[in-house]
Amino acid sequence: EAQVTQNPRYLITVTGKKLTVTCSQNMNHEYMSWYRQDPGLGLRQIYYSMNVEVTDKGDVPEGYKVSRKEKRNFPLILESPSPNQTSLYFCASSLAGSYEQYFGPGTRLTVT
Amino acid sequence: AQKVTQAQTEISVVEKEDVTLDCVYETRDTTYYLFWYKQPPSGELVFLIRRNSFDEQNEISGRYSWNFQKSTSSFNFTITASQVVDSAVYFCALSEAGGTNTGNQFYFGTGTSLTVIP
């Protein structure tokens, strides 16, 4: 089944404790992206990647890192999480040029 | 400035009524894409439609139709004969080309929450 998977689905952590949210797709998509969803703000793009080792900042990259070492994986790294990073995070992927993004199920992160 | 504006935060309609969700966008690019996504109460995001900037033809898919007007920078979404299953948050999005190798950046609106009352 074609899908985008994210792990973990739920995470509660404390300020400053490094964490990684994994994202993997099995559709051989070139484009991958991370978003955060907050009430009243819609979805905001954090980072995106067109290919292996090619990444770029979205609208809200501060406090986040990404890497694209393999085509199928695009982990989101929070080196020192803060409470304002409490949010619902979505990973997405699409074929290059299509941009019809397939979204993962979301990861709900709470930073206390 | 917001690149995608969905001025309607919440809309309620009675089943079988028609409803239009508004989307206004802002871009200086000549090539761009517009999208609508649906987020039902279960939380997943479902792709509904993509439109590129060179194709202003309106599109109809069953009870759904989209009206793209470059002159007013709008990409409105109409649901005809609404059903309870249409209750969801609907997002409009704009994609602009980034650098030559970095792919497109996406901008989503803040969403319109539609409630269809039986």
Q: Residue B19: what pLDDT?
A: 98
Out of B47, B91, B103, the one facing A43 most closely (by C-beta) is B91
What is the average pLDDT across A75-101? Answer: 94
Q: Residue B98: what pLDDT?
A: 60
- What are the tens digits of pLDDT across the range B97-111? 765 556 788 999 999
**Could you tell me how many helices (H) and strands (E) chain A has, helices first?**
0, 11
Q: Residue A97: what pLDDT?
A: 78
B104, B107, B112, B113: best to mutate for the A interface, most A CBs within 10 A: B104
What is the average pLDDT across A31-58? Answer: 94
Residues in chain B with CB shorter than 8 Å from the CB of A56 are 98-99, 102-103, 105
- What are the tens digits of pLDDT across the range A8-25? 999 999 999 999 999 999
Q: Residue B1: what pLDDT?
A: 65
Cα separation, B70 vs B25, in Å, equals: 9
Cα separation, B66 vs A3, in Å, equals: 27
Residue A3 DSSP label = -
Q: Residue B91: what pLDDT?
A: 97
Q: Residue B99: what pLDDT?
A: 54
For residue A7, how far is the Cα from the chain centroid? 10
Q: How far is B112 from chain A (nearest CA, A)?
A: 9
Q: Residue B60: what pLDDT?
A: 87
Q: Do B104 and A56 touch (CB under 8 A)?
A: no
* HSE toward the beta carbon, residue A18, CA cutoff 13 A: 4
Mark the ranges of chain B whose per-residue pLDDT is less than 70: 1, 98-102
**Could you tell me how many helices (H) and strands (E) chain B has, helices first?**
0, 12
Residues in chain A with CB shorter than 8 Å from the CB of B109 are 42
Q: Do B91 and A42 touch (CB under 8 A)?
A: yes
Out of A35, A43, A106, the one facing B43 most closely (by C-beta) is A106
User: Residue A35's closest CA among A53, A59, A15?
Assistant: A59
